[in-house]
Structure 1
């Protein structure tokens, strides 16, 4: 391996929502990681043992807190940072304190941030001699697989990744509405809003282009909204007839008039919709060139899966590319590091 660990790495978990609690569970389980703190976003979680928040069977003795100073006082090597959106203030504080950050919070290269905010992060890394790394399922794991597949090609013409799924099991009305679902498809500015909400996909497209040696001229976005043919009640939100029930879009990178990288989604919600392309219920990863390469990633339950539904699996799939990267990120050179910079990230054998 390109790095060695002489002691368990000290890690704090930042938030314990859908993704964060899966990360927390994995940190507790790994002998090469030592949980030293948990940041609680909500006051109702302050004082609760990490085991209860993560669904771990035995108490850890680590209580969640909203005291950032107390967390930094534990001298962590790394932080698994899992809010929905990144806070530049929080990231700057962690990084300048010498804490390496591994995050699922809409971060791949930081390019969607303002130039001033991205500069703040870079300078914080320099001051703290720390690194920040972003990943997840998509973008994240899908980009890794695409770049690996490209290694089988003599010539790469285009990399295209499509998340082709029914999103109905992701019970976050705010997130789904922000992505256009349940809104009038003719709402002014809807496409621009979806573009902004999904800008991290553009970051991943640019990262892959750089990895294959393509100097992009521009990145564009296109999207098609499909209206529901009937009402759907999903419990946590409704999709009325005539509102958006399908979103099919891509962030595309171009060299001249050639589309070199495309990262996007073919999403539906509810049963009353016919998307422009049939769902493949997974991540479709294609590399066009010599030869053409294609695979579909499916996230499937193990035989002993006891949770109802599959939302938990998706959260694990999103959390683990970040949590499992902790040792590599701690060993990395200071600064903003990406999937293209790190050695392959692997899981751990449960011996």
Structure 2
């Protein structure tokens, strides 16, 4: 069948979602929500740097819901509970790349989302931390060991060229290195890692006693001028290493860690790899490294072209999940609830 899709916002990840939706024969883009007033009435293809697609962006939520889409692809960085409740209560399923896996970070907002799913007979799926499938990759890898002692996921990048201060400042970038609330800021900004730890633990049948957040920081020794007219002053945070860990009986069994740096002026100096490392300690211990590179026909002319290529792996897990989410029972679905997600409609035949 063809799934009718509404795209929610056309930022960095949303742009990649539009590219994927409009080239997939199993998906039909029927509408698009515009957060910015200047995007209202503009063809979605024009907003996303491709040929016009015959769908114009709107901020009229009622009009979008009246289209009766099968699914909304929800790509804001930070989820709005009121928006999600409105969509789900209207009977529209949601797949999202925002900070949502189990919804526990929303507190009472999670109960509202569950109730909206019940009223609308709808389902919400959050693909999780970037890239959205990395925790699923770890779980699948653990399935080839006959004993698992610990699972570790490490994301490591130099994010200097990444133009998104709105998503990095909430993590702690740019704050004075001695800011008294720095650890609390990072814990709040990276709370989706907590949900990811819980997901991995649930997948291996572990009941966690404790989940901890342990950040550490590096400062820049020089002012850093960054994309987005953003400057990190000397003495302020330009490197974040945050570990979220799950514990059973005093023993660490799950680690999800992000190491992000900016430039070559850090104090202390950190040696940063590039990519994702998944380690399943057990019998046997299995270590996998995930990296990505352009295809032979890629014609990148700017740094933004390469950034957008990388964002594909953020957008696609949610889109790949659409058929399974539409078919799922109402409520919050995670990777542990859905069947194998099949990449339909993407083969370059």
The bucket for the TM-score relative to the shorter chain is over 0.9
Q: What is the Cα deviation at residue 181 of structure 1?
A: 1.8
CA contact (8 A) 2:129 2:193 kept: no
Q: Is 1:53 aligned to residue 47 of structure 2?
A: yes
Map of 1:210-289 to 2, 5 A cutoff?
210-236=202-228, 237-273=230-266, 278-289=271-282
Paired position in structure 2 for 1:4: none
Alignment of 1:302-341 (within 5 A): 302-307=295-300, 308-309=302-303, 310-341=306-337
1:8-27, Cα deviation, whole Å (9 max, x unpaired): 11110000011111101111
1:191-215 deviation per Cα after TM superposition (whole angstroms, max 9, x unaligned) = 1110011000110110110100110
Of 187, 193, 199 in structure 2, the residue corresponding to residue 195 of structure 1 is 187
**Aligned position for 1:350:** 348
TM-score by structure 1 length?
0.94
Q: Is the 8 A contact 2:211 2:246 kept in 1?
A: yes
What is aligned with 1:14? 8
Alignment of 1:142-161 (within 5 A): 142-161=134-153
Separation of aligned partners in 1, 2:269 and 2:139: 27
Matching of residues 118-133 of structure 1 within 5 Å: 118-133=110-125
1:274 CA displacement: 6.0
CA contact (8 A) 1:137 1:317 kept: no
Question: Helix, strand or coil for the counterpart of 2:279?
Answer: strand
Matched, 1:35 2:29: yes
Conserved? CA contact 1:155–1:290, under 8 Å: yes
Which runs of 4 or more aligned residues in structure 1 lie more than 6 Å from their structure 2 counterparts after TM superposition?
A: none
TM superposition shift of 1:173 = 1.6
Q: Tell me the distance in 1 between the aligned counterparts of 2:240 and 2:17.
A: 29
**Structure 2, unaligned stretches of length 5 or more?**
none
Q: Map of 1:68-217 to 2, 5 A cutoff?
A: 68-114=61-107, 116-136=108-128, 138=130, 140-217=132-209
Q: Distance in 2 between matches of 1:342 and 1:108?
A: 13
Q: Give structure 1 stretches of 5+ with no counterpart.
A: 1-6
SS in 2 for 1:72: helix
> Aligned equivalents of 2:269 and 2:278: distance in 1?
18
Number of residues of Structure 1 aligned to a counterpart in Structure 2: 343
Q: Which moved more, 1:171-180 or 1:33-42?
A: 171-180
